């Protein structure tokens, strides 16, 4: 009878799982069963079956656990995808960490490995590729099967990866400079090319190098942008604790509390993000997600928006960059980061100082693009792969590698380009 019920549950789940919004646990001596708001079976009966993790806003990510033959199992309840057995898991939207004594393996939400190797940090490159950090070095993996693509170590992850985009079909090619002195060429699908194959592809399909993470300064119309307007997804509410302190949280409507009122202040980082900046009684700031889980501990003195998706957190060590699109606090630390440039510039690059040196940095990934010749130099604007370069009160042009194209000898450099004007207008309209 139990096998019949389980078979019926899976059959019903196949019909109903895409529309399931609520996950309700029914308990009995035969085991627990999870159904949706219509009473349709999702999974069960299983021993101690229950929901472990749920995205509190739209239930796109729901994970559960149960016991089978004495072993604890985990399952994605939205896709009915089972996770590798033998691990405890920490969940976070698209990925789950299969915890080990030395770190974790990374598992996709569909139960396949994204990184079938023990790592201590990860950073997604695109839908097919992902970086995993082991010790001081990063390695490239195919996140569709978890296999390592390159055995060569990479230092400082994104800083040593160049992005090229085909003008023919908009596909990407990655040029990776490894720590052991090799240059590797990898397509966006994870295929490793020889140098001759890569050069042939670059010439045939008209590949051009992009700045930073592949969004580049070219191709404005294709770039995804985020609004800087205050979020209206959640509603701020307050409660007074036993000590008489007013604390704040976030809710949807009157009845659905997303973040309990546990914080001295709280602000949603944007309608399209799942992160909040919060502060405690010591006026220290940190980042939590929409499940009230700590992403960045409350050790920072202030925060400030940088690009449309990144924020500067400051502490006694300097300025750090948090990317709300990826939910990552990057390793790079600067003495200062310029947040005063025009918004269209800040969405791509800015200048930052470290150890009496000024750099042009990628605002969304935090790494250095190049060093400016003098500490008082600056960049004031850009168009595609050119920067307006200011030195000693005069202006010239510099490329994205930091090479001076036109010496700074002019009183003013104006870029009159309709495509750039449309790009700026688009940003202003968000």
| Spatial separation of the C-alpha atoms in residues 365 and 286, rounded to whole Å | 19
What letters, b where the CB count within 10 A reaches 16 and e where it falls short, cover 357-370?
A: ebbbbbbbbbbbbe
Residue 55's pLDDT is what?
A: 60
From first to last of its 430 residues, the chain has per-residue pLDDT tens of 444 344 444 443 344 334 446 788 888 898 999 888 778 899 999 999 998 877 644 566 788 999 999 999 999 998 899 999 999 998 876 789 999 998 999 999 899 999 999 999 888 888 899 999 998 899 999 999 999 999 999 987 677 888 888 888 888 899 998 988 889 999 999 999 999 998 889 888 888 776 544 434 444 444 578 888 888 889 999 999 888 999 999 998 878 899 999 999 999 999 888 899 999 999 999 999 988 998 999 999 999 999 999 999 999 999 999 999 888 888 889 999 999 999 889 988 999 999 999 999 989 888 888 999 999 999 998 876 788 999 999 999 988 788 998 899 989 887 766 666 776 777 777 6
Secondary structure string (H, E, C) spanning the chain? CHHHHHHHHHHHHHHHHHHCCCCEEECCCCCEEEECCCCCEEEEEEEEEEEEEECCCCCCCEEEEEEECCEEEEEECCCCEECCCCCEEEEECCEEEEECCCCEEEEECCCCEEEEEEECEEEECCCCEEEEEECCEEEEEECCCCCECCCCCECCHHHHEEEEEECCCCCEEEEEECCCCCEEEEECCCCEECHHHHHHHHHHCCEEEECCCCCCCCCHHHCCCCCCCCCCCCEEEEEECCCCCEEEEEEECCCEEEEEEEECEEEECCCCCCEEEEECCCCCEEEEECCCCEEEEEEECEEEECCCCEEEEEECCEEEEEECCCCEECCCCECEECCCCCHHHHCCEEEEEECCEEEEEECCCCCEEEECCCCCCEEEEEECCEEEEEECCEEEEEECCCCEEEEEEECCCCCCCHHHHHHHHHHHHC
For 177, half-sphere exposure in the C-beta direction (CA atoms, 13 angstrom radius) is 7
């Amino acid at each position: 009878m139990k096998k019949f019920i389980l078979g019926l549950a899976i059959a019903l789940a196949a019909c109903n799982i895409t529309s399931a919004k609520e996950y309700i646990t029914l308990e009995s001596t035969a085991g627990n069963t999870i159904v949706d708001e219509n009473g349709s079976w999702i999974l069960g009966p299983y021993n101690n079956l229950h929901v472990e993790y749920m995205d509190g806003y739209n239930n796109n990510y729901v994970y559960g656990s149960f016991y089978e033959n004495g072993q604890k199992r985990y399952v994605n309840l939205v896709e009915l995808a089972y996770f590798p057995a033998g691990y405890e898991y920490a969940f976070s939207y698209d990925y789950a960490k299969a915890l080990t004594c030395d770190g974790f393996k990374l598992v996709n939400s569909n139960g396949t490995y994204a990184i079938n190797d023990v790592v201590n940090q990860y950073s997604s490159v695109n839908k097919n590729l992902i970086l995993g950090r082991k010790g001081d070095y990063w390695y490239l993996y195919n996140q569709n099967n978890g296999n390592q693509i390159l055995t060569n170590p990479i230092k400082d992850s994104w800083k040593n990866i160049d992005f090229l985009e085909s003008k023919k079909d908009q596909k990407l090619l990655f040029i990776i400079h490894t720590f052991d002195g090799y240059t590797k060429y990898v397509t966006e699908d994870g295929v490793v090319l020889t140098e001759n194959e890569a050069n042939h592809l670059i010439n045939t399909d008209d590949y051009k190098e992009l700045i930073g993470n592949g969004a580049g300064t070219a191709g404005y119309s294709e770039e995804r942008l985020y609004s800087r307007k205050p979020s209206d997804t959640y509603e701020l509410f307050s409660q007074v604790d036993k000590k008489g302190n007013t604390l704040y949280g976030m809710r949807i409507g009157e009845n659905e509390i997303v973040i309990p009122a546990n914080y001295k202040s709280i602000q949603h980082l944007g309608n399209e993000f799942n992160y909040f900046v919060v502060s405690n009684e010591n006026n220290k700031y940190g980042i939590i997600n929409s499940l009230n889980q700590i992403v960045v501990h409350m050790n920072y003195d202030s925060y400030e928006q940088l690009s449309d998706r990144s924020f500067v957190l400051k502490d006694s060590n300097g300025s750090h960059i948090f990317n709300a699109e990826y939910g990552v606090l990057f390793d790079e630390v600067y003495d200062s980061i310029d947040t005063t440039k025009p918004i269209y510039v800040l969405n791509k690059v800015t200048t930052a100082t470290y150890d009496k040196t000024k750099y042009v940095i990628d605002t969304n990934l935090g790494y250095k693009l190049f060093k400016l010749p003098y500490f008082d130099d600056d960049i004031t604007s850009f168009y595609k792969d050119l920067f307006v370069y200011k030195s000693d009160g005069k202006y010239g042009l510099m490329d994205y590698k930091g090479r001076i194209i036109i010496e700074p000898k002019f009183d003013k450099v104006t870029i009159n380009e309709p495509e750039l004007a449309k790009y700026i207008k688009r940003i202003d309209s968000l």
